[in-house]
Structures are given as structure tokens and as C-alpha cells.
Structure 1
């Protein structure tokens, strides 16, 4: 899926004023159809998506190191909801963790471009992106059905640029500023 909405109304008494609104709301999940339109896939995604909560923030990351993105939803007045992605699409991916030396250690502000099979994606290491939530600092790149060799270019906040070529899909790469790859691990169900 491509868009997740986790919400809840701000007024606990809203149902008394408007019968069409609720305090607790289900999450909504949309899939990009690739033609400028999105499809609501909430009903097919399972009970956790449809459960009514007071969603106030989301953190995204591959929490189980199986190559897909999972989500933790921060709920007001309740425990968090873990949306573990075990859909098994068969697609490939890579995770990139940047470690700064001259730049800040968390590499906040580093831009990473991944190119595979002629297609490029760009992500930036960011601190915070949702209310009271911090997503994984490792960057996830979905590669689709291609398991072709991957090129990774890192533009560090210090101004240094590094390019690494012929990397295999379905791996986590830890890239340290000015040193290149310092660790690599396979992703997959056996790695979790």
C-alpha cells in the first residue's frame, strides 16, 4: 500500500453533535494504481486496519527485517498498534543505513539515490515525520520484481558523495561516511 491514514476526532463528544462523525476512527489504506488514482484497500488489509482507534502518529520501518515496510500507530488512550506487513508480495528491496562521521552520526539530511534496472528512487534520512513518532532511520527502497544489481549514491550533509555499485538486492547495507559499506546482512523471513 502507498498511503496510510491513522486518525481520530479531536472532540470526544463529537457523536452527540454530528451522527456521521466518530471520536474513534478506523485506519484507511490506499494503493496507488499508477494512473493518478488510488484504491481504498482497507477492507482487504485485515481487522487491525478497520479497528477504531485514536490514531495520532505513525512510525514506518522494516521492524522484522524481512524486506517490507511495517507500521506502528501511536494511539491516544491505548496501546500502539503494530501493522506487521506479512503480505509476501515476492518483490525485492534493499535497506540502507547511513552512519555519519564528519556529518552527524544519525546522518540526518543524507540523500540516498538507489538505481536498479534503469529506475531511480531518492530518499532522505529525516528526523520525525509524524506526531510523537520516529520512523526507522534506515531507508527502505522497494525494487519490485527486479533482483538486478543495485547502485547506491549517498550525498552526505558534509558535501561528500559516495557511489557504490553492483550491490545485491534483498540486503541491509550499513554505509559509513567516507568508508563505504561497513556491514551487510541479508533480508528475509530467515533474517528476522
Structure 2
């Protein structure tokens, strides 16, 4: 939906509405909050928990995320500073932002920060390949952009109970590739494009 140039514009309905079928017309939805109206359909949120890498369990009620606020954007990021991704949720029609803190037991996770030098500074478009305990995990580095928000550009990967990443391969946006051995999990690891090693946060 595009905001009109004239925010007070009133667009007449194109034909008669069939109210019995649930049809309605709003002359300008962007004036609704000022008029005390709300377009929320009070749809309940859903939160699904991945249990074994392939199956999901509906954890909406147990997590208390099943609010009927007709939410439109969710951003996953570590807001509490404990290394685990939390969820920030915004809803249509106004209302407060809601933060759902991740209270699951701490597990091993890789937190990789990339700094581009030849490529773009945030290394958007880079591909990271993690080789851990015989498994290969691939992540592309892009900001998460839900409908009404934008998440941080970060790479966080859950790794269960492993103690280190055997090999981390970074393919930078310009096509160049670097390999790193025995990368630690837990603290944030910073990799600068073109530099041989990596830095670990204290």
C-alpha cells in the first residue's frame, strides 16, 4: 500500500460494497489512527519451535506469544545481551512494541561479525560455511526485512553442544574466499576481509 502525497486525501469507493459478504471501503487508511479507528483483525500470533532440524511444534501458548494483536513485523536479535536471539514484535494499528526474551537454556552458538574492506563495509551478500562435527551449515549475510521493520545485519548460528567450529569459510561479496580453522563458539568473532586471522571479543 502506498501512502498518498496528500495524507488527508479521500478516495471515493469504486462501486457499491456488499456488506453481507464482509466488503468495506476505507477512503484513506493512513488517517485511521488519528480518527481513533483500527484495521486490526485481532489475529493471534504463532510461534513454532524447531525440535530436531525438520519438525516444528506450536509453542505459541507456552511462550505467551499468542497475543491477538494482529502483528506485522518480527525482528530476531540479541536485545538482552546474553547471546541468544530474542523477538521484537510490532502490530498493525499501533499499540506497544513487545519484546519476547529468549529464556531457553544456553547452548553453543557462533556469532560472526564481518567487516568488508574491498567489499561493502557490512559484507552484505557474503556467504559463510560452517563445518562442525561432520555437518555443513551455510548462511548468507543479509539484513532481515519484515514488512514493517528491519533487523540487524548479523550472523548467529546455533551449534548445540560443540566446542568449536572446525572450519569456517567466508566467501566475500567480491568473490574472494577465506578459510579459518578452529574458530571458537560463544564470544563474538570478528573477521576483517583480507586479514589472515580473526579477533575474539573478551
TM surpasses 0.5: yes
What aligned pairs does 1:143-182 form with structure 2 within 5 A after superposition? Answer: 143-181=159-197
What aligned pairs does 1:67-146 form with structure 2 within 5 A after superposition? Answer: 67-76=83-92, 77-88=94-105, 90-146=106-162
- Residues 20-67 of structure 1: CA deviation (Å, up to 9, x unaligned): xx7122221112344854221112113xx0222131112112233322
Greater share of residues in strand: 1
Which SS does the other structure have where 1:28 is aligned?
A: coil
Q: Which residue of 2 aligns with 1:9?
A: none
After superposition, the Cα gap between the structure-2 partners of 1:172 and 1:35, relative to the gap in structure 1 and judged at 3 Å, is closer
Distance 1:92 1:33 in 2: 16
Bigger Cα Rg: 2
Question: Aligned-pair RMSD on alpha carbons?
Answer: 2.4
Distance 1:125 1:91 in 2: 22
Distance 2:172 2:165 in 1: 23
Q: What's the CA shift for 1:176?
A: 1.1
Distance 1:81 1:180 in 2: 42
Q: Which residue of 1 aligns with 2:48?
A: 30
Which SS does the other structure have where 2:199 is aligned?
A: strand
Q: Is the 8 A contact 2:45 2:70 kept in 1?
A: no
Q: Which runs of 5+ in 2 are unaligned?
A: 1-20, 23-39
Q: Which moves more between the two structures, 153-162 or 74-83? A: 74-83
After superposition, the Cα gap between the structure-2 partners of 1:181 and 1:44, relative to the gap in structure 1 and judged at 3 Å, is farther
Q: What's the CA shift for 1:100?
A: 0.9
**TM-score, scaled relative to structure 2:** 0.72
The structure whose RCO (Cα within 8 Å, separation 6+) is larger is 1
Distance 1:98 1:36 in 2: 29
**TM-score, scaled relative to structure 1:** 0.76
Q: Is the 8 A contact 2:141 2:153 kept in 1?
A: yes
After superposition, the Cα gap between the structure-2 partners of 1:61 and 1:180, relative to the gap in structure 1 and judged at 3 Å, is farther
Q: Which residue of 1 aligns with 2:61?
A: 43
